[in-house]
Structure formats: C-alpha cells, structure tokens
Amino acid sequence: MRQFKIPKHPYEEDRAMFTKTELELEPNKVTCLVGCNGTGKTTVLYFIRRALDKLEAVDVACGYPHKGWKVSNELDFTKKEDFYADFSKKTDDAKSGFDWMMGKAAVAYSSTGEGIVYRLGKLLETLGGAVADPDMKGKNLFIFFDDCDAGTSLDLIMDIKDVISLICEDCQKRGINFYFVITANSYEMCKDYDCVDVTTFKHVTFKDYDDYKKFVLKTRKYKDKELEKQGE
C-alpha cells in the first residue's frame, strides 16, 4: 500500500476539491479515479507524480531509454526503487524535444484516447524494455493513463483495456509491484477496475450503468456546490 498526500484546496482556498487529504493505492491492480469532469481526477495524478518526483522516481517512458539501447545515459534499475511511466503528458510538460514532438502528435488526433493509443504504440517499447529487465524485479512501477477514454469508441476502449491487461500480466510474471492509475469518464472503461471516488478517495462499485450515472451526477452536485461557495 502506498499513501499520497493530496491538498484539499489545490487551486483556490474557497473551493475544497477533495474531502480528504490522503489517497491510498493498492499494489498490483488497476485503480480508476472516477467523478464528473472538473472534480480533480487529473489534479490527483499531478500530485502523485509530483510526490514521486520528490522521491527521485525515474520516468521510464519519457526519461532515459531502456539500458539495452546504446545511449550515453543508461538507465540503472539497481539504484532506484520507484519508477513511473506517464502516457498523459501535455505538450507544455515535455522534458525533451522528443516529448514535445510526441505531445504535438497526440493532440493532433481527434480525441485524447486516440492520442494515448498512438503514444502507446511509440513509447510502449521503452516501458516493455523496463518491465523485461531482470533488475526491475521487486521494484515499484507506477503507470498513469489520464482521460484515456475521452471521445473514444467502444472498440477503442476495448483495445486500451487489452493493453492495460498485457502490461499488468507482464509485471506480475516478472515480480514487479505495479500501481496502474487511470482516469475515465465512461462506464465501459471503469467497470472492471478498482474504482475510487476522486472527491472522497473512497472505493466505490457500480451494479450497472444507471448506478454509475447516479454516482457521476452526485459528484457533479458536490462540484457545483463548492463552486457556488467560491462565488459568494
């Protein structure tokens, strides 16, 4: 179990985006942050990544390539315990010219989800190389997919879920402790995963689509209430 501190008021003091300050992530499962748009799903991912950066975790997807590649900056998996792969970076968050180019390519697609699939095709080899490295055994690997189902079709959602399953299976085979965190807006994307209410950080389950719809509308009421307070 890993715990992360998330500020209740990340942007404005008058608006409490979250009711708690501590988020717990369980290892070796996919955690899906759920809630209506604007409740802070992307914000939570940002603070998890920032906490990992403070611990000097290594970004294996956008940082240095796998050490099997002949490059000057080789990645040494023996020196760190925490690694992460972020497939949701925006163009302005790029760490290199390559990241910037990939970000431009992603936003050129018709939806965020399609952009993520495109980036997966280009960057999954790097992540795959990290997972395959014997020195990664026993390490902690965090993987982030933000807004991975935005504007996507059902068949594309199935493709993304297949990729998620393959990554999880590979990590389990090789003894890597993985924390797969995604954010989603569709019932089809989140229904098979361990869902966490992004407002309360509590685990939630859904019987069917109607149950999920009620939950999303409930989070919208909370968001609107906090926005009204801010405007007073």
Any idea where the domains of the chain sit in the sequence? 2-231
Look up residue 34 and give its amino acid.
V
Half-sphere exposure of 61 (CA within 13 A, CB side): 22
Q: Which residue has the higher pLDDT, 206 or 13?
A: 206
Q: Can you name the CATH fold of 2-231?
A: Rossmann fold (3.40.50)
Average model confidence (pLDDT) across the chain? 80
Most confident of the ranges 116-120, 212-216, 220-224: 212-216
- The phi and psi torsions of 163 (rounded to 5 degrees) equal -65, -45
Length of the chain: 232
> Could you tell me if 37 and 58 are in contact, meaning their C-beta atoms sit under 8 angstroms apart?
no
> Could you tell me if 179 and 167 are in contact, meaning their C-beta atoms sit under 8 angstroms apart?
no
Nearest of 93, 42, 81 to residue 179 by alpha carbon: 81
Q: Note the pLDDT tens digit of each residue in 59-83.
A: 887 644 444 433 334 577 888 999 9
Q: d(Cα 206, Cα 71) in Å, to the nearest integer?
A: 47
Half-sphere exposure of 127 (CA within 13 A, CB side): 27
pLDDT of residue 89: 53
pLDDT of residue 136: 92
